[in-house]
Structure 1
């Protein structure tokens, strides 16, 4: 029996609304049936606590069963994502023929028309990129004008943030890896900057942006967001009409990694020198103040009334909840502590920006805006402030990303349960520890048999593909890449 999904996975154009999808079974596997509709967003997400009202007694809540046994009295979870409701309203708004009914500024309307209908000479924005920005625009400009309908979403976001991100207004856009989050960032910056320049009295817009990344590599990749960069997306990808490019040049953009939020020593003192200067008095305060840290990290933004913050790979940024001691152990606890420390630095830095300068909005962009293990929330549950989703399956069905291959010949004898889908659970304890020193004597022949079989299955498929390409006269060979979790494994 042929596997239609793997042979012809693409069902939609990357530039138009996705109207078809492959049906998936309860295990997330294609049933080979095509549904004539868009795939719904289905996630488990923490339910924000109701906003406290003055004078109102706190009421106990019924514990809702979301189907996975995650909910407790302290934290409940909901399997129905609000994303689908937001998507429905944005879809209806997008189809309004008269731009006077869009309830946005003339500048925003001009950009929307440009992104949707401009005849691009080169790379054209994907539908998912435009939809992500449309969702943000709808929640910012349109929803506040819709009365109770809009208030539903605004109140939900406020509750989600009050519960998990006090003092910050976060909103997450979930976009699969490969769908072009950098372009989305550029479009958001264009929308904000042009409106801020032409409407300087408006509190909804700013021309100051702080982009926070988890590492230097990502930070360097995002330089195309700066208007003066030779490869700037605004001109090279025609993301802005020519007559608006001068406005974009007025944007102030700082791109940094979250480590920059760590307070540094102002004075370089040895241990002995510190002891000598301190004497028997109070401990010397030689760390930066919050203001000094901000002056170092983002001097260009210090004079602005507010800044728009963007978190790239935002699943690293959260405020963890207290975790019971028995919840994790061993390597899991160590990994959770490292994740939480990084998240603590990141979210604390954003909090300082919000208090000292003012954060208009914190926009999270991630393919996986899910809580990590040890965060205090159920691992893998969706950030509740996520308002837009374009999943990996959506991206595959639109031909934006390639179809990843997994071993399908699960021929390990002696066990009825296939192991390839969750291979690490079966072999993790038998793999070498991180770092060559801790790994001890490394023997390539000691690789667990399950992993060997998986690699052989993948390579077997690769070999067939290699031969087929050669027979077809394709001179470039297919590429077989193995990515390891650490150097000891590699």
Structure 2
């Protein structure tokens, strides 16, 4: 099998400069290092052809992203020419972002994504000649999609684009190319809360200053603009017959009008402003459904319990933007996503990219630049088979191990107990490797070399029924012994958590239907964290813990300490489908896929959020995630080393007070510079024209009073 592409050094590029080399990976040939940047492309496999099934299965047809490659060259030429056509504000921002002495330099992929959008708006006409970005459909608003791998820094790109638009609009109110009203739409409340840092009114606590994206002297102008952050659920018209969530029988007002929806979403701060700049985060959720087919059944007969929710999300999201277009007008819509491709059962050609993609920095590019963890996949086993069994665990179990009755037929349900019987071995095998890492992390934490948090093991299941039996077995509640004792939940300690599809939906909307769903939201948000973000738990969590502790006392269970992040000690997560977007745990080390995979796109979506690095100050340090059952193909895999890469050295800095207070060094915060002219300046008064001031012609005093009808 040619898809196993082990290389000793996957990281071969500098994340801060344009890539100059890449790993060329082709079927039947060993990986080859090529001394040029990778061409933007994707691999298309027609629907119905499985991934990683037999040797005859190829990885699909390589299709260049011709439009992206053309724009990439145009942008590069524009950059090298000094950005002709750019406004003074834009030129200042671009120079600021390119400074080599920045404390927090922007990755090249971040700068290129921002530059590409600016190019399409501002570049001189001769640079943009013949460049026409395809529309989603005739009459639709303009969309530009930036394809950026998970972990490559989409938030900074959104912040840069918001600042560029607002500051240009403030500088020239008559220029309709820009907008000072920005709407950011994201898939769930977890991301929404995190993206609050995009609001300029946060000042020094905003992303613009924390990441040094806007000079201090421009912050006052930036605060003249408005950034609204919302999740897609807010775009749905509200039922005006609801009073406190209960249907009102007396008043029949129907649903909100388009104008009312837009006014509610944009809020009072934006007021009646139009010409909105829209930034879609995780924009692969925002697409138009072309036909009504069976949303719940895949082509292989598997029932996808999240399909209906996916279709509703896409419909509400795109129809909400259509309402904004009709009511206020959308100046430009920028989509950001690691996987801007059409999915199955949407009426579009599944596996094809959005036609309006204008820049591309994918997962392979991110691996080669050191921006994400490097996957390690099964490449050989004792059976000697061309494809190792655990490369695609689901296919191996369902097609080779289960009986016809256990498979349940085309429209039947695969029996979860039967799947677990065969899945126990690959899970236990990978859990044994996890235990080795767990012991090593514990030892290094005791020596002060890393934070005292455990590595995280993830099992991604097909549906809730399977997740339930897997969870029971892993935690020792099943009929057979668990894979490792460290995953048990003893004496009220929670080392393993289960996240079902219902919980995923609750986490997305922020409207939890139970205390357990609310609690899981905080658990997932704090996995791998030794302290609460901001230093203390939120008021919402304190109220929740008070309710849970009251119940714990009644039932004789241990009380919860609200000062400890509830996800700090979590070691294992059993999840349905994929982990929710916005989940940014950096301690994931082992992943098992226990579900069908219809495409390489789905492989990346399922575990992409498990590939975030634990640190970014030294991108040459390789970080690895071991993966079973997620059949990635055509990516450079990290060859298994003899010894693990040591963690980055942790330096602890302690303040010695009061004995060294006299040695304190303070640094002023410089907001600007004043230049003193030391040379002598002479004025030729005989050449200064005369200016006569006549009070009878130019009044120097005016009396005003309130408007009154008195005569």
Q: TM-score, normalised by structure 1?
A: 0.78
State the partner residue of 1:95.
80
Residues of 1 paired with 2:146 and 2:216: CA distance? 28
Residues of 2 paired with 1:453 and 1:88: CA distance? 50
Residues of 2 paired with 1:368 and 1:129: CA distance? 16
| Cα deviations by residue, 1:121-151 (Å, 9 ceiling, x for unpaired) | 3x221111001001111111116x12xx624
Equivalent in 140, 150, 174 of residue 201 of structure 1? 174
**Higher helix residue share:** 1
Residues of 1 paired with 2:390 and 2:301: CA distance? 24
CA 387–425 in structure 1, closer or farther in 2 if over 3 Å, else same: farther
Structure 2 contact 12–21 (Cα < 8 Å) conserved: yes
State the partner residue of 1:305.
274
Residue 201 of structure 1: how far off its partner (Å): 0.4
CA 452–79 in structure 1, closer or farther in 2 if over 3 Å, else same: farther
State the partner residue of 2:18.
17
Residue 462 of structure 1: how far off its partner (Å): 4.5
Is 1:355 the equivalent of 2:319?
Answer: no
Structure 2 contact 135–141 (Cα < 8 Å) conserved: no
DSSP 3-state at the match of 2:213? coil
Is 1:288 the equivalent of 2:256?
Answer: yes
Residues of 1 paired with 2:89 and 2:43: CA distance? 37
Residues of 1 paired with 2:213 and 2:335: CA distance? 21
Equivalent in 332, 335, 348 of residue 364 of structure 1? 335
Residues of 1 paired with 2:439 and 2:307: CA distance? 44
| Cα deviations by residue, 1:302-360 (Å, 9 ceiling, x for unpaired) | 42131100111101110011156698585557644432221011000000001101101
Structure 1 contact 409–457 (Cα < 8 Å) conserved: no
State the partner residue of 2:349.
378
| Cα deviations by residue, 1:416-443 (Å, 9 ceiling, x for unpaired) | 544444434444798x99xxxxx99986
Residues of 1 paired with 2:167 and 2:97: CA distance? 15
State the partner residue of 2:314.
343
State the partner residue of 1:281.
none
Deviates further, 182-191 or 419-428? 419-428
Is 1:114 the equivalent of 2:90?
Answer: no
Structure 2 contact 398–419 (Cα < 8 Å) conserved: no
Residue 448 of structure 1: how far off its partner (Å): 4.6
Residues of 1 paired with 2:307 and 2:5: CA distance? 40
CA 327–249 in structure 1, closer or farther in 2 if over 3 Å, else same: same
Residue 118 of structure 1: how far off its partner (Å): 5.2
CA 389–421 in structure 1, closer or farther in 2 if over 3 Å, else same: farther
Residues of 1 paired with 2:6 and 2:387: CA distance? 23
State the partner residue of 1:222.
195
Cα RMSD, aligned residues only: 3.7
State the partner residue of 1:152.
130
State the partner residue of 1:62.
none
Structure 1 contact 22–31 (Cα < 8 Å) conserved: no
State the partner residue of 1:82.
67
Structure 2 contact 93–214 (Cα < 8 Å) conserved: yes
Q: What does 1:110-259 correspond to in 2, within 5 Å?
A: 110-117=92-99, 119-121=101-103, 123-142=104-123, 145-146=125-126, 150-154=128-132, 157=133, 159-162=134-137, 166-229=139-202, 231-259=205-233
State the partner residue of 1:389.
360
State the partner residue of 1:423.
393
CA 482–329 in structure 1, closer or farther in 2 if over 3 Å, else same: closer
Structure 2 contact 41–63 (Cα < 8 Å) conserved: no
Unpaired stretches in structure 1, ≥5 consecutive residues: 46-66, 71-76, 278-283, 434-438
DSSP 3-state at the match of 1:162? coil
Structure 2 contact 342–348 (Cα < 8 Å) conserved: yes
Structure 1 contact 407–457 (Cα < 8 Å) conserved: no
State the partner residue of 2:478.
none
Aligned residues: 432
State the partner residue of 1:260.
234
Give the number of the structure whose alpha-carbon radius of gyration is greater.
2
Residue 290 of structure 1: how far off its partner (Å): 1.2
Q: What does 1:457-472 correspond to in 2, within 5 Å?
A: 457-459=429-431, 461-462=433-434
Unpaired stretches in structure 2, ≥5 consecutive residues: 45-57, 408-412, 471-573, 575-711
DSSP 3-state at the match of 2:319? helix
Residue 174 of structure 1: how far off its partner (Å): 0.6
State the partner residue of 1:104.
86
State the partner residue of 2:51.
none
DSSP 3-state at the match of 2:37? coil
